[in-house]
Each structure stands twice: as structure tokens, then as C-alpha cells.
Amino acid sequence: MALIVDSTGKPFADLPAGGRARADSGWGGPGITQPPYSSLFPYEASNIQTPEMGQWFPYIRSPDSEINQFRDRMVARSRDLARNDGWASGGITRILDNTIGAHLRLSANPDWRVLRRFAKGFDANWADDFRQAVEALWRLYSEDLGRYNDLSRQLTVSQQLRLALRHKLIDGEALFVSYWKPERVGRGAAQYATSFLVVDPDRLSNPYQMVDTKYLRGGVEVDDDGVPLAYHIRKAHQNDWYNAVESMEWERIEREDEDGWRRVIHDFERDRAGQNRGIGVFTPVLAHAKMLARYYGVELQAATVATIFGTYVTSPFDPKMIESAMDSDGEELGFYQDLRADWSKERPAMLNSVRIPTLAPGEDIKQVAAAHPHSGFEEFAHEMLRSIAAALGVSAEQITQDWSKTNYSSARAALLESWKTLSRRNTEFKIGAATPLFATWLQEAMERGDLDDVLPNRPPDFIEAATAYSRCDWLGVARGWVDPVKEKQGAVLGMDAGLSTLKRECAEQGLDWEEVLAQRAIELKAFARLGMKPPSWSGVEDAKEASAPEEEPQPQ
């Protein structure tokens, strides 16, 4: 009889004969019988009697307890995988190339409907003037040849954002610290005192590696409501031997200054409520990726062994014949050896002055080839890559760059699903890092008076309406087309039917719709100036036909 235990691990009373419980046996209410050996667990997920579930007892912990204690180990493994595994490195590159690309362009869009509550003069025309002025100043700052936007003066803002997103994907977090450097501002130097530094998340930690407390979680200082108040950042990386002293010094940086200027931007994906540190995208499939990398190594070794072969010559003389030849004073063996020498040296076979390898009569050359012991490697590796690709949010084809087995329909379906995840990652990073970065700079630009000429009378201060002033979008990587003809035709039909707009279609391809229209106007003027027929998309001929006077019918 099977032993059945309750939730405390104590065994229930044995079932009575016949396998049916009596009404007074404690198995159920009056008249209720229990089938023999039926499960006591209403959900199979709670069953502890099966081989699959019997040894599976994970702990219930808070998100910080799950992450912070083991974060360094998980990050080190993820980073090692991204460094040394081609598939992992390629997956990270695909995500970066499809979200940030080489340049992330600001598209300011201030919320004038909110701002007009503070003062008159805020309308759509003002928003357009403000947008153009802000974007021009931002380009001057973010693409500065002197790289004064970067504390270390090495990267543009787009390059900083790409590096931060790489940290977020591998390490689980993107971390910026804002610095105020007025001494850099001057002729031929920085235009603004605001500068940013991308900080390695490893440096965010509790001082002296102390364990987490109620108000300090993995270097993040929080209050009773869970609001991050300050961040404790090492002055140097913990394993920098040349900065050993500074690696044991922590700087407490408040999240915001007293005037509201943001000092720290900390962006990570939250999987659970109350989480204060993030995890990388490889964490769920780290074991799979490592096993796949090891399998590739084993397969490469097997392939190497398979290419090594042995070559030997078979002779009609077996050991017994050689022994008998030796007994006859070696005359027979000597005759055979002389025959071999005469055959290979004195009378070599030639063909067009090329010597042909020849053997003595009865000899043969044979090879030993190692048979490959593995089968189905390609299918297995592809299946493992599908698991990794699912965790990264891209298709397996995007990681392998092998589209040989993909047709138009399946490629478009895979790319559309990947695009949803990539768009979500892109949007979350813009909200969590790019827009706060822009807002931090915009505060200085407005408080310095660089935008006074486009502001109405008595506008609200930046700190009063920071969200409305800083509202923006970011133009990044073009989605591209699988079939340019079909998809462009679909875009035109969508705009004609009112289901899409030129702004949306241009944004999906990383373009600014106003620049597209302005460029088209320039091209039309060039066609007219050169006396060339306008292109069909100009609509000029249609406009002429519509404005031409109708001819009166001639009398019969």
C-alpha cells in the first residue's frame, strides 16, 4: 500500500480494506469515499509524490534576496558568455542594432495642452517652434566634437546610450551619474556644464560589502515607501588592484539635488514588486547557453579527430612468412627488398614527366578514417538556439543569420514578433534612461535662458512642469522591409485609408516626417528649375488637370 502524507509530512492512516474510506475515517464528509491511491493534491504543481516534483522544493524569497546575494556570480557568468560565445555575442549585437543602432535621435514633443494651464501662449504652433529650437540645441550638445557631454570626454550621447543598454542586457542594469562641470564651460570648450558618466553596475553595492538591510538593498538606499533616495557607488571597481584603496571607498550620491536636478539614472527591468536590482537577459538560459558552448567544443574536437587518418602499406609477407624468410638466412626477404627498391627507384613510372607513386607487387596503401560518432548535431544546436533566442526576444534566424530555410511568410511573421519585443525594450529604455537624460540637460538649458526667445510670457519654471517640457520621442533604427514593394504599397494604402500617418510610417523607418516633406519640396523645386517632368508622387500633373478650365462643347 502506498504511503500518503499530509502537508506537514506526517502519514495519513492506512486506507481500509477495499481501498475506500469510511465516512468517519477523516477522508471526507459523510457518504464521501476516496478512490484508492488518488492524489491528495488538487493541483499537479503542488504534488510531491511524483519523481518529477518530489525533489523540487524552491524557496520563496523576496526579489532582493533572490538577486542581490548571487548577483555578482550571475553577472560574471553572463559577461563571460557574451565575451567568449559567438551566439551570445551575436544576440546582444542584434538587440543593440535593432534598438539603438548607431544613432538615437531626439524628437521633442512638448505637451502644450498641459502647459497652457500655467500660462497663455502655449499652443501647437508654439510646440513646433519649441521643438525645433530644443532639437537644435540638443544636437549641439549630444554630438559635440569635444565630447563634453561625457565626463570622460570619449562618447557621444548615442554611444553612451548604446553602452548603457549593453550593460542593461548583460548585467541587468543601466546606470548613469550626472555631473556639474561649470569649469569646462567657455569659449571653444563645453557649451553646458551638465555631463554624464556611464557607470559599471558592479560599482553599485553596499559599503564594505555589508549584507542588505531594510533601508539599503544592493547599494540602493530606500525609505519606508521603497523610494530610492541615494546610491552608494564605489570609487573604483572592486577588482582593480591598481585602485585598491579607492575600490574600498564608497560615494553616497543622492538621487536628486535639492533643486530637483537628477543625479542618478538607474534603469532595469522589474520582474517583481519591490525589486531594486536587475538581472540580465541570459540569466534564465545561462545553463543552456553554457552547455551548448561546451557541446560545440566537443563537436569541434570530434571533427578534428575525424580529419586525422592513418596511412599504412600492406605487404603479402605476413609474420610467419617473414619468420621463415629469416630462417633461410634472409635470402627470400633480401630478394623482396631488392625488388621493392628496383621497382620504386630504378624503374619509376612516369606520366608526362610526373612521377606516379608505385608499389611492389602485392602491396597496397590503406587508410584508417575515424567515423564521426555524433548525429543530429545541427537539429539539436538549432533547438537549443531557439530556446536562447526566445529568452532574448529575437528569432533564431536573427542570431544565426541563416535565412536559407525561411520563406517570406515565415520571415515576416518571425520579424513581426521580434519587433514587438524589440520595440518594448526600446520604449522601456527610452522611458527609463534616454528621456531622463534629456530632461536633466534640458533643465540647465531652460534655467540658463537658452530657450527664452521661444517661450511665452510668464511661463512656468522647468521644475514646475518638467514632464510637459521634456515629453519627447526618439527616432532610432529603421524596421526595414522583408519585401519592399509589398510593404511600401501597404503603407501607402494605410495612409490613404486613414489607418496610418506619414509621421508613424517615417518613424518606423527611423525618419523624421517633416524632414521628408521638406526634402521633397526641395526636390520639386529642383525639377521645376531644371525644366524636368515632376515625378508621379508629386501630384503636380493631377493638380494642373484639376485646375484646368473645362472646354465648352462645340455646336454640332
Q: Judge if 201 and 148 occupy the same domain.
A: yes
Average pLDDT on 494-514 reads 79
Q: Is the pTM of this model over 0.85?
A: no
- Would you state the pLDDT for residue 304? 74
Q: 12 pLDDT band (50/70/90 cuts)?
A: very low
In a domain, residue 527? The reply is: yes
Q: Judge if 150 and 234 occupy the same domain.
A: yes
In a domain, residue 247? The reply is: yes
In a domain, residue 516? The reply is: yes
pLDDT digits (tens, 9 = 90+) for 142-163: 999 999 999 999 999 999 999 9
Rounded percentage of the chain residues whose pLDDT exceeds 70: 76
Task: Domain count for the chain, please give it.
Answer: 4
Cα 37 to Cα 15: distance, rounded to the nearest angstrom: 9
Q: Judge if 262 and 342 occupy the same domain.
A: no
Q: Judge if 254 and 363 occupy the same domain.
A: no
Q: Judge if 228 and 335 occupy the same domain.
A: no
- Would you state the pLDDT for residue 486? 74
Q: Judge if 269 and 179 occupy the same domain.
A: yes
In a domain, residue 437? The reply is: no
In a domain, residue 464? The reply is: no
Using CB atoms within 10 Å of the CB of residue 190, give its burial: 0 to 12 exposed, 13 to 18 middle, 19+ buried.
Answer: buried
Q: Judge if 241 and 319 occupy the same domain.
A: no
DSSP three-state, residue 503: helix
**Total length of the chain:** 556
In a domain, residue 517? The reply is: yes
Q: Judge if 182 and 38 occupy the same domain.
A: no
Amino acid at 284: P
Q: 360 pLDDT band (50/70/90 cuts)?
A: low
Average pLDDT score, the chain: 81
Cα 217 to Cα 210: distance, rounded to the nearest angstrom: 10
- 550 pLDDT exceeds 60? no
Average pLDDT on 76-93 reads 90
Among 324, 342, 369, the domain-final residue is 369
Q: Judge if 149 and 273 occupy the same domain.
A: yes
In a domain, residue 528? The reply is: yes
Grid cell for residue 426: 526600446
Average pLDDT on 109-118 reads 92
- Would you state the pLDDT for residue 357? 64
Q: Judge if 361 and 491 occupy the same domain.
A: no
- Would you state the pLDDT for residue 346? 67
pLDDT greater at residue 176 or residue 517: 176
Closest listed residue to residue 426, CA positions, set 89, 85, 135, 105: 105
DSSP three-state, residue 475: strand
Q: Judge if 155 and 251 occupy the same domain.
A: yes
Q: 371 pLDDT band (50/70/90 cuts)?
A: low
| Residues spanned by the domain of 493 | 482-534
- Would you state the pLDDT for residue 536? 74
Could you tell me how many helices (H) and strands (E) the chain has, helices first? 18, 13
In a domain, residue 547? The reply is: no
- 13 pLDDT exceeds 70? no
Q: 210 pLDDT band (50/70/90 cuts)?
A: very high
Q: Judge if 210 and 352 occupy the same domain.
A: no
